[in-house]
Amino acid sequence: MEDVRAAERALMARVPDGALMQRAAAGLAAACGQVLGKVYGARVALLVGSGDNGGDALYAGARLARRGAGVTAVLLAPERAHAGGLAALRAAGGRAVDGSGPAEGVGGGAGADAALGVVARADLVVDGVVGIGGKGGLRPRAAELARAAEESRAVVVAVDLPSGVDADTGEVRGAAVRADVTVTFGACKPGLLVDPAREYAGALRFVDIGLGPELAAYDPVVEAFQYADVDRLLPVPGAESDKYRRGVVGVVAGSARYPGAAVLAVAGALRGGAGAVRYVGPAADAVLARFPETLVSAGPPARAGRVQAWAAGPGLGDDGDRLRDVVAADVPVLIDADGLRLADAAAVRKRVAPTLLTPHAGEAAALLGTSREEVESGRLEAVRELAGRYAATVLLKGSTTVVAGPDGTGAVRVNPTGTPWLATAGSGDVLSGLAGALLAAGLGARDAGATGAFLHGLAARLAADGAPVAAQDVADALPAAWRDVRRG
C-alpha cells in the first residue's frame, strides 16, 4: 500500500485540507444510499476505529443523517475517534456510543451491551474500523462487533477494505469483517482481488478521489485483464496464414493408465488458436477417436517433428523421459500436473525459451515444501516465490488464479473470470492445452497464461450457467468464450 499512501500524500499537498476525505465520504454515502434503497428512517450503525478510515465512516454517516437516517456511531476508541467527523455527525443529528467494551457493572448479552444492541438492530452497518493503516486481524472487541454485524440482518458496507484483511496480499490471518459491499477509494487494493480477502469484500465499488494522475507514477502490483486486454492478444489468423505460420503445439500428456488427460489437453489445444496440434504419447488411439484432426506420433518428443511450443504433463504418470525431452527443447514449454513433479528445477532454470508452470495449490505446495493451506492463504507470495525459484512464469490455479512473471518484476495478473464450477476433474488438462496453443501462436508466457485463464474461466461460466459442468463441456465452450471476448 506504500504506493497508494505516497500518491495520497502527493495529492493532499495539492488540494485543500480534508478534501480527499470529503470525496471519499461522499462516494461512500452515495453507495450506502444505493444499498439501502430508502435512506429516510433507516437505522445505520457505524463501526469507528481510531484512524481516517473511521473518519470516512463518520462523515458519510453525517450525510446519511442529513437525509433522515438514524445514525449511531460505535466508537472503538472514543478518545481517539476522528474529531472533525464526530462533530459533523453530531451536528447532523447522529449520536455516538462508547463501543470499547460492555458497559461497566452490567452483565453480558446484547441487551446490556449498548454497542452490540445498536449493531443488532441496524439495517446497515458501515465498517470503518481500519483501512490501509490496519495491521493484522481484528482485535477481540472489533471481532465481537463484526460477528454481531454478520449475525444481524444488516447489510455490511466496508470502508476502503474489510477491516482485518491484508490490503497488499489478500491474506486473512485473523478475524475480519465480512462485507456485502466494499467501497474502495482511489485505487483498487491488490488484496481485494485475491482470495481469501476477495470473499470478505463482497461486491466492489470504486470511488475516484482523483488519485489517478499521482498513481500513474507507480507500477501496479496486481492487475486484472479486462475483455479488451484479452481481445488484443487473441491470435487471429490473417489472409497469409497457413497452419504452420499459425503455430503447431505439441501435447505430451496421458498414459496407458490415464488416456483421458491426453484427450482433454488436446481438446483445449485445438481451441487455442494454433494451426495444428501434434500429440506425442501412448494415448494416440483415444485422441484420434475423439479428434481425428490431431497429428500423432509414438516416438519421443525430440523426434516428433517441429512444434512452436510444448504443453506437457497432464496424466503423464512417471514418464520422466518424455518430460526431459520437452524441458530440453528450445521452444516455449508449458509444464503441468505430473510434469511438475518430474521436472528438474535446475534444468528448467537453465532454459532460454519461455517456460510456463501451471500448478494448483497442492502441486505448488509440494514444489515449495509447504502446505496447501499456506499456499491458499497467501497466493501472491506463493506464486512469486515459485516464479523466482524456477526462473519461470507461473500460473497458480485456484479460486483466484494468479500469474507471475519469472523475474519478480511486473504486476501479478489476477484472473477475473474464475468460477467455482471449474473445480472439476480434468479442467486443468484443458487449460494446459489451451495455454500451450497460445504459446505456440506466439504469445509470451505471462500473456498466454493470463489469456488462457481468462478464456477458460469464461468458457466454464458459459457452459455451467448455474449447473455442474464436466471438463469436456469447458473445452466445448471455448469457441463461445472467444466470440464473447471478440464481441467485447
Ligand X SMILES: NC(=O)C1=CN([C@@H]2O[C@H](COP(=O)(O)OP(=O)(O)OC[C@H]3O[C@@H](n4cnc5c(N)ncnc54)[C@H](O)[C@@H]3O)[C@@H](O)[C@H]2O)[C@@H](O)CC1
Residue 397, marked binder: yes
30 to 49: interface string for ligand X, x by CB under 6 A = -------------------x
Q: Report if residue 50 touches ligand X, rule: CB under 6 A.
A: yes
3-state secondary structure of 396: strand
User: Which residues ranging from 137 to 196 are in contact with K ion (CB under 5 A)?
Assistant: 158-159, 163
- Interaction partner, residue 136 (K ion, ligand X, none; CB < 5-8 Å by kind): ligand X
In 247-392, DSSP assigns E strands to 248-252, 276-280, 295-297, 309-312, 333-335, 355-357
CB of 197 to K ion, least distance (A): 12
Q: Report if residue 336 touches ligand X, rule: CB under 6 A.
A: no
DSSP state of 210: S
Q: Rg of the chain over CA atoms, in angstroms?
A: 26
- Report the residue number, 123 or 127, with the smaller CB distance to K ion: 127
Q: Report if residue 325 touches ligand X, rule: CB under 6 A.
A: no
448 to 487: interface string for ligand X, x by CB under 6 A = ----------------------------------------
- Interaction partner, residue 290 (K ion, ligand X, none; CB < 5-8 Å by kind): none
- Interaction partner, residue 171 (ligand X, K ion, none; CB < 5-8 Å by kind): none
Query: Per-residue DSSP letters for 188-205?
Result: --GGGGSTTHHHHH-EEE
CB of 165 to K ion, least distance (A): 9
Q: How far is CA 422 from CA 229, 319, 399, 426, 468, in A?
A: 22, 27, 9, 9, 9
User: Which residues ranging from 131 to 190 are in contact with ligand X (CB under 6 A)?
Assistant: 131-136, 138-139, 142, 159-160, 185
Pairing between strand 309-312 and 333-335?
parallel
Number of residues this chain uses to bind ligand X (CB under 6 A): 26
Amino acid (one-letter) located at 246: R
Amino acid (one-letter) located at 172: V
235 to 274: interface string for K ion, x by CB under 5 A = ----------------------------------------
**CA-closest candidate to residue 399, choices 416, 374, 381:** 416
**Candidates 126-134, 348-356, 441-449, 451-459; binding stretch for K ion (CB under 5 A):** 126-134
- Count of C-beta atoms within a 10 Å radius of residue 221: 18
**Candidates 19-27, 299-307, 345-353, 425-433; binding stretch for ligand X (CB under 6 A):** 19-27
- Interaction partner, residue 385 (K ion, ligand X, none; CB < 5-8 Å by kind): none
Residue 305, marked binder: no
**Candidates 53-61, 218-226, 337-345, 348-356; binding stretch for ligand X (CB under 6 A):** 53-61
Amino acid (one-letter) located at 474: V
In the block, residue with C-alpha cell 487449460? 431
- Cα diameter, the chain: 85
Q: Report if residue 200 touches ligand X, rule: CB under 6 A.
A: no
Q: Report if residue 323 touches ligand X, rule: CB under 6 A.
A: no
CB of 273 to ligand X, least distance (A): 42
Angle between helices 19-36 and 52-66 (to 10 degrees): 50
- Count of C-beta atoms within a 10 Å radius of residue 70: 18
Residue pair 113/86 in contact by the 8 Å Cβ criterion: no
- Report the residue number, 133 or 220, with the smaller CB distance to ligand X: 133
CB of 479 to K ion, least distance (A): 43
3-state secondary structure of 311: strand
Residue 202, marked binder: no
Q: CA-to-CA distance for 181 and 201, rounded, in angstroms?
A: 6
**Candidates 126-134, 269-277, 343-351, 395-403; binding stretch for ligand X (CB under 6 A):** 126-134
Please state the φ and ψ torsions of residue 25, each to the nearest 5 degrees.
-65, -35
Tell me which of 127, 223, 336, 385 binds K ion, using CB under 5 A.
Answer: 127
Residue pair 154/126 in contact by the 8 Å Cβ criterion: no
Binding residues for K(+): 53, 127, 163
